[in-house]
Amino acid sequence: MPSIPKSVSADASTGAAKNTIKTKAAKIDTKLLTAPTQIWKSRISWRITLAVFMTILAVQAGILNVTMKNFEDSRLAHLREIGRTAIVPLIDMSVRDLLASPIPDNAAMRLLSATKVKGLAVYSSQLDFIKNYGEPLALVLLDQDSTSKTYRSSDGNSYEIVLRAYDLNRPYIMVARLDSSHVSKELQEYVKETILIMLLMSAFVTTVLMIAMGKWLLEPILFMRSNLISASENPENPKIVPSPFDPSDEIGGAIAIAQKLIQQNADNIRHIRGAAEDKIHKLAYYDTLTGLPNRILFLQTLAEHTRAAADGKQERFAVIALDLDHFKDVNDSMGHNVGDAILRGVGKRLRTAMPKSATVARVDADEFAITMPLTTDINSARDVAEKIINAIRAEPFRVFNEQFQVRASVGVSTFPDDGMDPDQVLKNADIALNRAKEEGRDTIKEYSEDFDNAVQQRFQMLRDLRTAMEANQLSLHYQPQLDLKTGKVIGAEALLRWFKPDNSKEGGAFVPPFEFIPVAEQSGLIVPIGEWVMRTACEAAVAWNKKHGYDLRIAVNVSAAQFSRSDICGFVRKTLAETGLRPSNLELEVTESVFMADIHHTIQTLKELHAIGVELAIDDFGTGYSSLSYLRQFPIDRLKIDQSFIRNALNNHDDAAIARTIVRLGHSLNLKVIAEGVETKEHEKFLLEEECDEVQGYRYSRPCPDADFVKFVSGYNGKLSSFDR
Ligand code: C2E
Ligand code: MG
Ligand code: MG
C-alpha cells in the first residue's frame, strides 16, 4: 500500500478541496494590537490615578474648608486678646463717677494711634453710653444680648468686639474696633500653603500609585495580552513564554490559567485536525462500504507500480477488473442491505484470497480492481484472475441466513505488455471485462488489442448512428406474420433498417441490426430511435387498415433500455391516440432481457401496457434465462419461438423437442405461439404438426418496404401452398 501524503488533493482529477485542514486564526482588532505597553500611556492607569488624585483633592478640600475657619477664628481670638491687653492698662482706676469715661483722652489717642484698636466706645455696666473715641463703630449696644455679638466689616479690614466687665475687670463694657486687615492676608497665605502641600502630596501619591500599578497590574496584564494575541493568531501552535509572575497572586494565577487554556485549545485543535484529516483521507481514498481502497487510491498504487518498474525495481504486474454478474437484480429484488452485504463479503473474500503485495480496491458500484506484482510463483495475470474467480465461486455468500451464489466477469491486463500508463492498463482490463460480459459473463477475458479496435469501431458507429437519425437514413421493413391454420395474413413485424451511404456503386449498404442495435441500446440512443420506430410502424398499420380495409396487427420490437430509460407506457398511449391505431392492433415484442432488469418495474410496466390493450409477445423465446419462472407473473399474449430452434428442428432432436415444448407450454398457459425463421415447407409442416398458431419467415416473405408489403398482402390468395416452390 503506498503511503499517501495527507496534504495531497482529495480528488486530483476534479480539483476537489485539499484535505489539509487550515485552522482559522482569529482576526484581532488592530486597536488591540496598538494598545500601550508603557505605564505612562496606559489609559486604565491614568483613569485610576485620576480618580485617586481627584479623591485626594476632594478630601483635602474638605479638610481645608474646616481648618480655614479654625485658622481665622484663632487669628481673630488672638486679635481680640491683643485689643483687650492694649485697653485694660489704660483704664484709670481712680475715676469714681460711673458715668464718666475711665480712659483719659490722651491715653485714648495713644491707643488709637499705636495699637490695633482704631475705635472705642465706652458703656457703663448698665449699658449707658459714656464716650466714643476714634473711628465710629458699627456695633451699638442696646441690651444685654448684644454684648455677645461681634462684627466684621465686609472687606474684613475691621473687627468689632465687646469687652465685658469681667474681660476688663472693671464695671464698664467697651466695644473696640480692631484693625483685622492682616487676618485676611494670613488666611490667604495659609490657604495657598495648604493647597501647595495638597498638590505635592497628591502628585507623590499618584506617582507611587502609577509605578505600583505598572509593576503589579499593567505588566502582567500586558504579558497575558501578548500570550492571548499570539494564541489567537496561531491557535494551533501558540508561542507561550513561561510566565515570570507568581501564580499564587490573582493576576499571576489568571495568567497561569489563561496559558493552560491556550495550551489545551492548541492540543484540542491539533487533535481535531488530525482526526479530521484522517477521516478525509479515509473518505477520499477508501470505499466506506468495504473499507477497501477506492479508484483514486488504486490508480495511485498503479502509478507507483509503474514508477517502480521504470526504476527497474519491478518487472511486471497484473491488473484485474472484476464485475459481479447481475448484481443489479440482487439489489433490486433483495434490497440494498443484501446487496451491500454481498459486496462486503466479496471484498473480504478477495482481500483474503490475495497476497499482501496485491491491492484490492472497489472502483465502482459492483466493480472491483486488483493489481499485483507478478512473481515466479504466479507469473501470469490469468493465474491471478483464476485465483480470484475461484475465491468468488468457492462457496455461496451467506446473507441473513440466505445463500447467494455470486458469479463474476473478469477482465485481465498486464503491465507493461498491455500498456505503460496506469490509467491505460486499468482501461484495458475494463475493456477485457466488457468483453467477458458480452460473451455471456462468468468468464475471464484477457485483454487483446483487437478489443480496443472493436471499442473504437463502436464509438464510430455511435457517431454515425446519431447522424443517421438526423439524415433520415433509418427506415422500416415489414415482415408478414400468418395464421398457420387459416393461412391468413394477420400482421407484420416492423424491422429497423439503416442504409448507410458510402462511395460504392450501390451508394451505400444496409448495416445489420445486430451491429448497430446493441450500440444504440448501450448509449441510450435506442429510446429516441425506438420512439420513431413505434410511431412510423403505427402510422403504417393505420394506413394499411384504413386504405385497404385490413385488420392487421403491427409487431414492434422494444428494447429493455426503453423499459428502464423512458416512459414507455406514456409514449404508447400518446402514439395510439395520435395515430388512431386500435390498441389491439399493436404488439410489443420484448426479449427476456427485460426481466433481467428491475423486476418490479417490469411487471408494473407490462401490466400497465396490458391495461392499455396492446398485445405483448416474448421474442426469441427459449434463449434467455429462467424463462419459465417468469411466465406466470406477466400478462403475456404470445410466445415467439426463437428461429434457431425452427432452423434446426428437422435435424436436431433437442431443438425439435424445445420447439414442441414451447408450443405446449404456451398453450397450457393460454398463450398464442408464433414461430419465426420459417424458411421451408418442411419447417411449416413440422409446426403444423406441433399445432403452432402462427408463422413468420422467408418462406412467406423477407422483410420488405411498406409498398412491397402492401403488394404482398393484396397479391396473396390466402393459401399457404402458394408458397410452395
Ligand atoms: P427479431 O426481433 O427476432 O427479428 C427477427 C429477425 O429474424 C429479423 O432480423 C428478420 O429479418 C429475421 N428473419 C425473419 N425471418 C427469417 C428467416 O426465415 N430466416 C432468417 N435467417 N432470418 C429471418 P433483423 O431484421 O436482422 O433483426 C435482427 C434483430 O434486431 C431483431 O430480431 C430485433 O431483435 C432487432 N431489431 C430489429 N428492428 C428493431 C427495432 O426496431 N427495435 C429494436 N429494439 N430491435 C430491433
Ligand atoms: Mg422481433
Ligand atoms: Mg426474434
Domain extents in the chain: 62-189, 286-447, 478-494+526-715
- Which ligand sits closest to the CA of 646? 1
- CA 150 to ligand 1 center in whole angstroms: 145
Q: Ligand 1 in contact with 643 (CB < 6 A)?
A: yes
Q: How far is the CA of 643 from the centre of ligand 1 (A)?
A: 10
Dihedral of CA atoms 450, 453, 458, 461 in degrees, nearest 10, equals: -130
- What's the CA-to-centroid distance between 632 and ligand 2, angstroms? 21
495 lines ligand 1 (CB under 6 A): yes
Strand partners, 639: 618, 673
Q: Is the CB of 386 under 6 A from ligand 1?
A: no
Starting from the CA of residue 589, give the closest ligand.
Answer: 2
pLDDT of residue 23: 54
Identify the CA nearest to 695 among candidates 545, 541, 487: 487
Give the pLDDT of residue 8: 36
Residue closest by Cα to atom 17 of ligand 1 = 677
* Neighbouring C-alpha atoms within 13 Å toward the C-beta of 500: 14
| pLDDT score of 627 | 47
Angle at CA 36, nearest 5°, toward 35 and 37?
A: 125
Distance CA 601, CA 464 (A): 32
Altogether, the residues listed in the chain come to a count of: 725
The confidence score (pLDDT) of residue 32 equals 53
Residue 2 is predicted with a pLDDT of: 42
Q: Is 676 in the pocket of ligand 1 (CB under 6 A)?
A: yes
What is the largest distance, in Å, between two alpha-carbon atoms of the chain? 198
One of 3.40.630.10, 3.40.50.2300, 3.20.20.450, 3.40.710.10 is the CATH number of 478-494+526-715, namely 3.20.20.450
Q: Is the CB of 292 under 6 A from ligand 1?
A: no
User: Residues 633, 635, 641, CA angle at the centre, nearest 5°?
Assistant: 95
Measured in Å, residue 507 CA sits from the centre of ligand 2 at: 28
416 preceded by a cis bond (ω within 30 of 0): yes
Ligand nearest to the CA of 497: 1
Which residues of the chain have a pLDDT value below 50?
A: 1-19, 626-627
Q: For residue 481, give the 3-state DSSP assignment.
A: strand
CB 720 within 8 Å of CB 487: yes
**Rounded to 5°, angle at Cα 155 from 152 and 156:** 45
CA of 386 from ligand 1 middle (Å) equals: 37
Ligand 1 pocket test: which of 479, 482, 495, 681 has the largest number of ligand atoms within 8 Å of its C-beta? 495
Q: Which of 499, 529, 676 to mutate to test the pocket of ligand 1 (most atoms within 8 A of CB)?
A: 676
Q: How close is the Cα of 714 to the center of ligand 2, in Å?
A: 24
Q: Are 444 and 386 in contact (CB under 8 A)?
A: yes
Ligand 1: residue whose CA is nearest its atom 30: 513
Nearest ligand, CA of residue 494? Answer: 1
Q: How far apart are CA 578 and CA 538, in angstroms?
A: 10
Q: Which long-range contacts (CB under 8 A, 24 or more apart) does 392-400 make?
A: 392/322, 392/346, 392/349, 392/350, 394/349, 397/341, 397/342, 397/345, 397/346, 399/338, 399/341, 399/342, 399/345, 400/337, 400/338, 400/341
Residue nearest atom 22 of ligand 1, based on CA coordinates: 677
Ligand 2 geometric centre to CA of 540 (Å): 17
Q: Tell me the three cell numbers of residue 373.
A: 506484482
In terms of CATH, what superfamily is 286-447? Reverse transcriptase/Diguanylate cyclase domain (3.30.70.270)
* Start-to-end C-alpha separation, the chain: 73
Of 1.10.10, 2.60.40, 3.30.450, 1.10.8, the CATH number of 62-189 is: 3.30.450
Q: 531 CB under 6 A from ligand 1? A: no
